[in-house]
Amino acid sequence: MEREKFDDILSIIKEIEKKNSELEKYVSGLPILSRNSMLEKITQDIVKNNKLFKEMGISSNVIPMGSVKKEPLIIQNIINNTISNIQANPSKKVIYLRSFLNLFDDIYENDKNVLVQSLKDENSEKLIEKMTSLSNIFKLKM
């Protein structure tokens, strides 16, 4: 009786190994995107569908894709678009600055208030420097 159970267990194990082998062959034949390709596609979808980016006039065509190393260009485009929006409508400077700061995960709400107060009186050149500095310190959420 015990021998029959042992044989049954061995046959179940062999079936599992066979199914695993079949599954491995099937999965290895699937067309799976590389990590960078997946990140690029996700980034394009985020930019394309994000309300904040739409309001700032940023489209997925504006943001260069193809390499993770191009993230500084994405940030620079966001900064340039923010500055352009501020220059086009200076009365909404605080709103645009807050929108820019909301792109970062690591900045707490109280800190955002302090940063907005310190940035709102800066000219465009100094503002670009400080925004670039902030983007180097904090992680952009995407």
Domain residue ranges of the chain, discontinuous segments joined by +: 1-32, 35-137
44 compared with 86, residue with greater pLDDT: 86
Place of tokens 């489209």: 59
Q: List all residues 6 or more positions away from 83 whose beta carbon is below 8 Å from its beta carbon.
A: 124, 127, 128, 131
Kindly state the average pLDDT of the residues 56-75. 59
Give me the pLDDT at residue 63, please: 52
Give me the pLDDT at residue 142, please: 56
Place of tokens 């590389």: 34
Query: Are residues 47 and 58 in contact, defined by beta-carbon separation less than 8 angstroms?
Result: yes
Our CA dihedral for 47, 50, 52, 58, rounded to 10 degrees, sits at 30
Residues of 45-65 as b/e, b for ≥16 C-beta within 10 angstroms?
eebeeeeebeebebebeebeb
Give me the pLDDT at residue 68, please: 45
Query: Are residues 112 and 102 in contact, defined by beta-carbon separation less than 8 angstroms?
Result: yes
pLDDT of 106-115, one tens digit each? 888 888 899 9
**pLDDT of 10 higher than 80:** yes
Model confidence at 74, in pLDDT bands (50, 70, 90)? Answer: confident
**pLDDT of 71 higher than 90:** no
Place of tokens 């904090």: 138
Give me the pLDDT at residue 33, please: 67
**pLDDT of 67 higher than 50:** no
The residues that bridge with 104 in the sheet, in sequence order, are 140
Kindly state the average pLDDT of the residues 32-56. 75
